Amino acid sequence: MKILVVNSGSSSLKYTLFDMADESILFSGEIERIGLDNGNHSFRSRQGEEKTLETRIRGHGQALDAMLETLAQESLSSLHEIVAVAHRVAHGGKYRDAVRISPEVMDEIRRMTPMIPLHHPPMIEEIEECESRMPHAVHVAVFDTWFHASIPDEAAIYGLPYRYFEQGYRRIGFHGHSHAYVCACAAKYLEQPIEALKMITCHLGNGASLCAIDGGRSIDTSLGMTALEGLIMGTRSGDVDPGLIPVIMNEESLSPDQMMNMLYRESGLKGLSGVSSDMRDVEAAAHHGDRRALLALDAFCYRVKRYIGAMLMVLGGCDVLVFAGGIGRNSGTVRRKILQGAEGLGFVLDENKSVTESAEDQPVLDVTGPGSRVRILAITTWEEIVMARQCLSVLKKGA
């Protein structure tokens, strides 16, 4: 049984073809830096053959074309070999568990688009394109929000009139597949029951969020009802004083759409640094003395540090701190800046190991320093296998 998992992010498209008989990877690829001039498309066959093509992909529709063409040329004799496609969807609204896509499901995904304006349009486009090209396959929506259904009401509610909470306006959270995977991976690596561990997981990439996990269950997260709250991200602002928004709108005569465009597309690392939305570019510029790039880097790390402190209090302690996502997994500089000065709280980083070794070379990189009371791990997340399993579960239920 071959299942294709499509994970469409705000600036990337990852895809993995699984044989679910043994959960083996038949083919995988990633298209990065969508919308930027220096993008690339890298992929790997089952035999381990790797290729990287420099490419200039303007949008997710073009990225999808490249994915399907590559699969047809490199791995499949026909797209009909694919039994099902698991589509990552950020916000499912009333849906939390994975579900077979229907017109009603698509209507609910579209209804949630104002909450996730960066992600849902390319995700909807990708689903529609895949359905038109592979009508024989079962198409399943798997939702980022599922893992955070366990967040208690006192953590989920906003300080708005109660009627909004009754209408469903609450902290939903995202990156659920990543937080769930690295949590389970950390417990397995440490050879400890997940039920006995308190963890803080940091998914740091173009989109970023923290999660407080107690006994394998999410009890709080930094993202909210939309994809804006919390950490500074690639192009998104993260937390902003809500009272400042109407002031800026009035002073600059901005419409709501223009304000939302600023918050989602012109802020974050891009807006602060003036260099790029990509942390690799920001780090490089900061290293060469660019003052704004250094400020952007420091502000990003400070915001993560601040939220780790908040999650530490929510959990009442921490056994494991996990860094994941493209930035969290690969940037020793970011990990060092985040944990600088946190030794008294039990977080001691092995800076030499954190900077000199790459988690890309191994699924789990232990960067715990001597005397640390908290195990500190950098883990290569694998959202796709979580999504494939959820898709298979839908197929087995005949849903």
Total number of domains constituting the chain: 2
* Position 176 in a domain: no
* Position 358 in a domain: yes
Query: If you count them, how many residues does the chain have?
Result: 399
Active-site position among 19, 97, 144, 241? 144
Give the pLDDT confidence of 329-359 residue by residue, as tens digits: 999 999 999 999 999 999 999 988 766 665 5
pLDDT of residue 356: 61
* Position 41 in a domain: yes
The secondary structure of residue 150, as a DSSP letter, is G
Please tell me whether residues 119 and 223 are part of one structural domain: no
Cβ neighbours of residue 399 closer than 8 Å, sequence gap 6 or more: 99, 100
Please tell me whether residues 289 and 362 are part of one structural domain: yes
Catalytic-residue membership of 350? no
Asked which of 43-57, 181-195, 275-289, 293-307 is least confident by mean pLDDT, the reply is 43-57
Please tell me whether residues 199 and 124 are part of one structural domain: no
Give the pLDDT confidence of 108-149 residue by residue, as tens digits: 999 999 998 888 988 898 899 889 888 999 999 999 999 999
Please tell me whether residues 197 and 330 are part of one structural domain: yes
For the CA atoms of 323, 326, 327, 333, the dihedral, rounded to the nearest 10 degrees, stands at 90
Please tell me whether residues 18 and 133 are part of one structural domain: yes
Q: Domain holding 348: CATH number? A: 3.30.420.40
* Position 154 in a domain: no
The confidence band for 251, taking pLDDT boundaries of 50, 70 and 90, is very high
* Position 156 in a domain: no
Please tell me whether residues 123 and 259 are part of one structural domain: no
pLDDT of residue 358: 57
* Gap between the Cα atoms of 304 and 336, Å rounded: 12
* Position 177 in a domain: no
For residue 107, the enclosing domain spans: 2-143
DSSP letters of 322-383? EEEHHHHHH-HHHHHHHHTT-GGGT--B-HHHHHHS-GGGSSEEE-BPTT-SSEEEEE---H
pTM of the model: 0.91
Please tell me whether residues 252 and 113 are part of one structural domain: no
* Position 215 in a domain: yes
pLDDT of residue 79: 84
Please tell me whether residues 205 and 124 are part of one structural domain: no
Give the pLDDT confidence of 14-65 residue by residue, as tens digits: 899 999 999 999 999 999 888 877 888 999 877 778 888 888 888 777 888 8
Collapse the DSSP code of 203 into the 3-class scheme (helix H, G, I; strand E, B; otherwise coil) and give the result: strand
* Position 182 in a domain: no
Give the pLDDT confidence of 211-220 residue by residue, as tens digits: 999 999 999 9
Domain boundary among 143, 169, 200: 143
Please tell me whether residues 213 and 345 are part of one structural domain: yes
For residue 360, is pLDDT > 60? Answer: no
Domain boundary among 108, 143, 178: 143
Please tell me whether residues 196 and 139 are part of one structural domain: no
